[in-house]
Amino acid sequence: MSRKVQIEVDEDLYNMLRIIALKKKVSLEETIKEALENYVELENRRISGEVKKDSIWKIIGKGTLDQDASQDEAWGLAEWLENELE
């Protein structure tokens, strides 16, 4: 599923995006999508790095869990984050 997003940018940014699109021979829309994807990827790496440094993540795995703990919604989140950080 995709979502339509409408934004306003200043003239300099618009011109740079158009130059990039023309140079790469792609549409302005494709250029903006690529820029957003790159930005989100960089931010995801930065956030993941911050999470790894958080002291709470250093103790994960040092405790014991009940047998049905994997069915708990909070455990699923911790399991997902742990997989993301590897």
Q: Which two tokens mark 63? A: 């405790």
Domains of the chain: 1-62 (1.10.1220)
Closest CA to 34 of 42, 66, 55: 42
pTM of the model: 0.57
Asked whether the beta carbons of 57 and 85 are under 8 A apart, the reply is yes
46 confidence band (pLDDT: 50, 70, 90): confident
Q: Please tell me the predicted confidence (pLDDT) of residue 27.
A: 97
**How large is the average pLDDT for residues 46-57?**
73
Asked whether the beta carbons of 36 and 28 are under 8 A apart, the reply is no
Asked whether the beta carbons of 42 and 12 are under 8 A apart, the reply is no
